[in-house]
A and B are shown apart, each in its own frame.
Chain A
């Protein structure tokens, strides 16, 4: 038997680590999707009428749309009427700070390795945690508040900073953008809001941790980050979900606004439940993420490590409107078993002297399908636009697929656009070389894969990078004989 075949037979041993769920009392919307449900959610969240109107408008638009079919993924249609659109842990009183949060909820996060205790937390990371439909805790609020930084749940922002929310909500990802973005606009439940005032450098990493706990519940969170002129923030997002036989929908929207000379770094380590080895269950991760470099000399940088989800459909993008603005996209997407990922980015050059850089590293194992889809668009007045794209694919075994779909669209002749692509296999000689030095095959694969993805992993904040390396290894465990 050739080694390749053996690889495929031995596929996958490690179970998903975060597959447990917890029973606690919840506040739930009735199952189904209609105007009444949207009103129900809005009432539950005590929202102002402008927001309800905004949701209802989005719902109308969504009703006229159909699910996109262009992505290189296959999955059975979801019955959106069979889902629940709101589920929240019951907390007797709204917690004012972390000390008032239900210990049971805190325990869930401890189990995930996330301490919400400010003393115990590593210095330098403030965290907002979202469980199912609501944000349950935000740490380091006061410390940040002193600098004028607003970091809170979306619901709280609607109440406390309605002007900011109203000004920026939907300004980067309009409700008309796509099917899932419209659905999110109609039913979004919570998420994080962040505002960095002019000239402020956020002294710690801000982070949101998403966890789906409830069954048959879609998670539709919305994140809005506004970095005013000359400010800086680094934002992290992590996520997990219980192991369930049915598919669950996660349709989030992230909007980033960067003013002149502002810089936003957004990093994601996505570890949603990917389904079992036969491809049963797992999260459908249909997410719209977009940032606008609105001011001159602004910069938005996306870094993502995608290891989970049954199906991923995600294109964090940059609209480079300000002159001299910079957009970056660094991605590692790993798929194993029956996972499918169609992910990439869009860089839209509008301003003069705008630059973008795309580094995509796909890793496919098992019977998975991994596609990079990227668009580089240079508008007419974008003089001297520059783009560099590097798209690499690494294959493990011969039953998986790697695909690259680059779209290049140039309306200004001064543009310089470079695209490089490679496809390689983990070599048996590489593994043997590691073995010969005493390194077991699993660890050899982890070493080789982490080396391959290094350029992207290097972009992550330290704590996250270590986590991401472990996750890559875990996702691929058992994928080489």
Chain B
């Protein structure tokens, strides 16, 4: 489904991603871990099409299409969803209104009729139950004055509404208490299917207890320096990143 080959990206001339290779197949869950500042959010942003990042090398195929050639909105319409690490506030625009605009544009791209208000509402009701989100929150200005947990839950609600093919969750677990973590993870799990894939960026094993990864990758200094199965995450939980850093830094060639 997703094939990243030798991806290099920089911001304002500073290289951040320095040769990422990653293959994600339908039905899989990949976890990306790694110390702060290693480039996890950058990778997510580059895949979603954020313009500040300049791709200097490499290619990304998504369902056979050159992802990097597409505008950010077309990537979304093709089914790429990013749950933001820091969701953005849009004053005066409710989640409901925002999602109605989004969903209808996605549908139009896919050659579907726009959903009328009644159908939209019933879809909302269904997805609200999935992530146990309060309707009141959805009529407030998007993310404005939301608690950290409410923002994250709202991201997953949006994901549920848009039914993406590839979901990238950037530290969705941070800011969630234990109950919210369970609810949000359950939501993510219910949305999984053999036709979709999930990339979860996280620092903590506790999320991976709920969303069990097929593969775990460690990103460090803009490269994937170690990959393994879910046991790797447990090992990292126990030992931290220092041993990997040492391994990498000692063999690094300038």
Contact flag A435-B73 (CB < 8 Å), given A443-B101, A443-B105, A447-B101: yes
Residue among B73, B75, B81, B97 having the largest count of chain A Cβ atoms under 10 Å: B73
Binding stretch for chain B, among A33-41, A152-160, A398-406, A448-456? A448-456
Q: Is A429 an interface residue (CB 8 A)?
A: yes
Instruction: Give the chain B neighbours of A430 by CB distance below 8 A.
Output: 88-90
Contact flag A438-B109 (CB < 8 Å), given A427-B88, A443-B101: yes
A452 interface neighbour in B91, B97, B102, Cβ under 8 Å: B91
Proximity string of chain B (101-120) to chain A, C-beta cutoff 8 Å, 1 when within and 0 when not = 11101100100000000000
A438 interface neighbour in B73, B88, B90, B141, Cβ under 8 Å: B73
Q: Are B102 and A437 in contact (CB under 8 A)?
A: yes
**A37 to B253 CA separation, bound complex (whole angstroms):** 90
**A440 to B101 CA separation, bound complex (whole angstroms):** 10
If over half of A's interface residues share one DSSP class (helix, strand or loop), that class is named, otherwise mixed; here it is helix
Instruction: Give the chain B neighbours of A454 by CB distance below 8 A.
Output: 92-93
Q: Are A448 and B93 in contact (CB under 8 A)?
A: yes
Q: Are B87 and A450 in contact (CB under 8 A)?
A: no
Q: Are A438 and B106 in contact (CB under 8 A)?
A: yes
Instruction: Give the chain B neighbours of A451 by CB distance below 8 A.
Output: 90-93, 141
Q: Is B84 an interface residue (CB 8 A)?
A: yes
Q: Is B82 an interface residue (CB 8 A)?
A: yes
Q: Is B99 an interface residue (CB 8 A)?
A: yes
Count of chain A residues with a beta carbon within 8 Å of a chain B beta carbon: 24
Q: Which of B155-180 contact A (CB under 8 A)?
A: 158, 162
Instruction: Give the chain A neighbours of B93 by CB distance below 8 A.
Output: 447-448, 450-451, 454
Closest to A455 in B: B92
Q: Are B84 and A437 in contact (CB under 8 A)?
A: no
Q: Which of A391-446 contact B (CB under 8 A)?
A: 427-430, 432-441, 443
Q: Is A90 an interface residue (CB 8 A)?
A: no
**A438 to B71 CA separation, bound complex (whole angstroms):** 10
Q: Are A434 and B87 in contact (CB under 8 A)?
A: no
Q: Are A436 and B92 in contact (CB under 8 A)?
A: no
Q: Is A161 an interface residue (CB 8 A)?
A: no
Closest to A453 in B: B92
CB distance from A459 to the nearest CB of B (A): 14
Proximity string of chain B (46-64) to chain A, C-beta cutoff 8 Å, 1 when within and 0 when not = 0011111000000000000
- Chain B, interface size category, equals 20 to 34
Residue among A435, A453, A455 having the largest count of chain B Cβ atoms under 10 Å: A435
Q: Are B90 and A441 in contact (CB under 8 A)?
A: no
Contact flag A432-B50 (CB < 8 Å), given A438-B77, A447-B90: yes
Q: Is A470 an interface residue (CB 8 A)?
A: no
Instruction: Give the chain A neighbours of B75 by CB distance below 8 A.
Output: 436
Q: Is A3 an interface residue (CB 8 A)?
A: yes
Instruction: Give the chain B neighbours of A428 by CB distance below 8 A.
Output: 51-52
B102 interface neighbour in A427, A432, A438, Cβ under 8 Å: A438
Q: Is B128 an interface residue (CB 8 A)?
A: no
Instruction: Give the chain A neighbours of B51 by CB distance below 8 A.
Output: 3, 428, 432
Residue among B76, B90, B106 having the largest count of chain A Cβ atoms under 10 Å: B90
Q: Is B148 an interface residue (CB 8 A)?
A: no
A433 interface neighbour in B88, B91, B99, B109, Cβ under 8 Å: B88
Proximity string of chain A (87-98) to chain B, C-beta cutoff 8 Å, 1 when within and 0 when not = 000000000000
Q: Are B90 and A439 in contact (CB under 8 A)?
A: no
Residues on A lying within 8 angstroms of B by beta carbon are 3, 427-430, 432-441, 443, 447-448, 450-455
18 A-B contacts (beta carbon < 8 Å): A428-B51, A430-B88, A432-B50, A434-B98, A435-B49, A435-B73, A436-B48, A436-B75, A436-B76, A436-B82, A438-B76, A438-B102, A438-B103, A439-B73, A439-B101, A443-B105, A447-B97, A450-B93
